[in-house]
């Protein structure tokens, strides 16, 4: 496990009598950058929830480096967030420091500097006082990336991080992901843009309710594998 961030051992995930992810095994190496891809209903987001401990395996085991989730951080889909809560962009980002600071009473000047630096890094230096509900989809996604910066985690999981954002925002945030990867962090992202995956992600996991292929992106995203993933999502299994 010394070079492994996450190991999946015959993992099945789902709810009651519905299995969304079936018998998946493999490893995410430390410092790797992997895109999780596949058709709608392939189990991509379910796998992220399983790794984060939000969903217990029906079968199999998920093993984390150091047997702890303390060094992981997750960016959920925007649809899972309540934008009606009256919180400022600054406070949303500052929530990423919670593991270090605990209660707000111990939020020191150094952490305030970190928040401002994170906002600047994603192009939101002047947006700290804005209420989250007034942000555009792209601005909110930038703020969520800034919150991840505050986590300072070794392993980062992102569920559709570029959904409903424009090309310019995608390029800016992709640069943030690549910077994390260059620092030796493990990056795992659920994505739909195959062109982006081919251009920017060295590793890919193609799912169709199970692992269709996992490895170097050019070997995974072949026409044959993509066709098989669509077939499996239609209801057939290997």
pLDDT digits (tens, 9 = 90+) for 166-207: 999 999 999 999 999 999 999 999 999 999 999 999 999 999
Residue 137 shares a structural domain with residue 147 = yes
Give domain status of residue 8, yes or no.
Answer: yes
Quote the CA–CA distance of 169 and 63 in Å, as a whole number.
34
Sheet bearing 203-207, strands edge to edge: 72-75, 155-159, 186-190, 33-37, 203-207, 211-216
Quote the CA–CA distance of 182 and 186 in Å, as a whole number.
10
Q: What is the mean pLDDT of residues 48-63?
A: 94
Supply angle C-alpha 185, 32, 225, rounded to 5. Answer: 145
Give domain status of residue 36, yes or no.
Answer: yes
Residue 50 shares a structural domain with residue 98 = no
- The pLDDT of residue 208 is 95
Give domain status of residue 11, yes or no.
Answer: yes
Give domain status of residue 173, yes or no.
Answer: no
Give domain status of residue 191, yes or no.
Answer: yes
Residue 144 shares a structural domain with residue 159 = no
Residue 30 shares a structural domain with residue 122 = no
Highest mean pLDDT out of 2-11, 68-77, 160-169, 203-212 = 203-212
Residue 125 shares a structural domain with residue 160 = no
User: Over 60: is that where the pLDDT of 237 sits?
Assistant: no
**Residue ranges making up the domain that contains 187:** 1-71+154-165+183-238
Residue 53 shares a structural domain with residue 99 = no
Higher per-residue confidence, 76 vs 8: 8
Give domain status of residue 99, yes or no.
Answer: yes
pTM: 0.90
User: Over 60: is that where the pLDDT of 115 sits?
Assistant: yes
Residue 54 shares a structural domain with residue 93 = no
Task: Output DSSP code: residue 187.
Answer: E
Where do runs of H (alpha helix) occur along 126-222?
Answer: 137-151, 167-182, 194-200, 217-220
3-state secondary structure (DSSP) of residue 105: helix
Give domain status of residue 76, yes or no.
Answer: no
Task: Give how many domains the chain has, as a whole number.
Answer: 2
Confidence of residue 1 (pLDDT cuts 50, 70, 90): very low
User: Over 60: is that where the pLDDT of 164 sits?
Assistant: yes
Confidence of residue 97 (pLDDT cuts 50, 70, 90): confident
CATH code: domain of residue 205: 3.40.50.300
- The pLDDT of residue 80 is 65
- The pLDDT of residue 101 is 64
Residue 23 CB-half CA count within 13 A: 3
Residue 13 shares a structural domain with residue 130 = no
User: Over 60: is that where the pLDDT of 103 sits?
Assistant: no
Measured in degrees and rounded to the nearest 5, phi and psi for residue 201 equal -115, 115
The percentage of the chain sitting over the pLDDT mark of 70, rounded to a whole number, equals: 90
């Amino acid at each position: 496990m010394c070079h492994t961030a996450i190991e999946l051992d015959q993992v099945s995930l789902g709810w009651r009598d519905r299995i969304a992810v079936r018998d998946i095994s493999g490893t995410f190496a430390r410092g790797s950058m992997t895109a999780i891809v596949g058709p709608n209903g392939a189990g991509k987001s379910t796998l992220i929830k399983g790794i984060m401990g939000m969903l217990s395996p029906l079968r199999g085991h998920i093993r984390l480096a150091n047997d702890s989730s303390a060094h992981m951080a997750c960016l959920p889909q925007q649809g899972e967030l309540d934008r009606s809560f009256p919180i400022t962009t600054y406070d949303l980002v500052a929530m990423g420091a919670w593991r270090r600071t605990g209660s707000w009473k111990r939020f020191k000047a150094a952490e305030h500097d970190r928040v401002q630096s994170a906002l600047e890094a994603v192009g939101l230096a002047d947006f700290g006082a804005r209420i989250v509900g007034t942000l555009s989809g792209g601005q909110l996604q930038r703020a969520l990336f800034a919150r991840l910066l505050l986590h300072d985690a070794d392993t980062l999981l992102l569920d559709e991080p570029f959904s409903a954002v424009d090309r310019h925002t995608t390029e800016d945030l992709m640069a943030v992901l690549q910077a994390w990867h260059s620092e030796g962090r493990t990056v795992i992202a659920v994505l739909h843009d195959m062109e982006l995956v081919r251009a920017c992600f060295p590793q890919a996991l193609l799912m169709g309710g199970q692992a269709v292929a996992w490895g170097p992106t050019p070997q995974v995203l072949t026409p044959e594998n993509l066709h098989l993933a669509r077939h499996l999502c239609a209801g057939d299994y290997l």
